[in-house]
Structure 1
């Protein structure tokens, strides 16, 4: 071993020992806690929705960050045709392309990586206040959902139904992917990956997207680059 290598190893050992030594009180630098910006009042369109067969309550104030509000933005996907829906699960965004320059952006809760789906699909059809029909694979993981499987007729629409006020059904090559864009996202979960792969919006946003999206439109769900994790809800 050369003297240079011996010197390098000795210096590394000394540095390791120094790193494990507790500093004196005078040497400790405390980093101040970050200041949390207050969330401004929500736009009026997040109030209670009238004229629906079931209640759609107002979104509670102070929970949804402003970046996740429905808003028109510069289009980050100008190559996509008008009407295309693009979901970025890592950012927690769903974009609806309005024109090459502009898009409508919604905050979205997405699938936990272990249950997520990505790729190109088509919006086959949409439903108001849909029944929730639990896939057999989910019922196997959660036996308490067995009463709501396809064979058992699913769950009635209305409060408590995880699909909420609207659902958009995604097909690929003519086959149902079993993934949906739907409402009933709890405000505290918006922008996070906690579902079994479905793309969840606030009910107010699901209603708005339902009114705008056209049958047959292209839906592009980007792959998540985050590490896999479990703990999906629906």
Structure 2
């Protein structure tokens, strides 16, 4: 006979597939962004890691926030989520550490898709990475999630509205201007590297513009939203009977 002291713990919320570890940001998140609840076709749960703002993670030392990220993930798992992702592709640096610390699958970064994408491309083509800040995306980030070191990379220029808004430095989320800048950066990537056969968006703020990027470049575009939908599908597969 079980009693209150021997019963296994139960989740606080049921039927949650994915928990999202959020950076500490203050900008508006558009539909299609990982942090907008309207983006998702299944229930997700969010936790903000206080102090982990874009400057600290993109240009700083994300490993200094490992324990707060672990604690936030554990809280999400206690609520019932069965997989963890994050709101910043630069957290690829913590992929192995979070997997080692947590009892559920972890997908820190869209960059994890790169080897799979390259396996699907025609001979002679490569995946190209479109990132928030090319100067900050290092060989260590790529190695942490198995991305080839010679992978072409392009970023948003530092003086763009995109970098200002999503870097938490202010500015109005003007969708048309943000999309123009994202498309221009993608076009520059394929212009410099014509052998890029697919574009992989590192930044979780880029998915609202994935359709426009695909239309402008003629390449398939992979992003965090499609990745997490695939991840969530595996955690809670649909029934067909």
Question: Shorter chain as normaliser: what TM range?
Answer: under 0.3
Which structure carries more helix by proportion?
2
TM-score, normalising length: structure 1 = 0.27
Larger Rg: 1
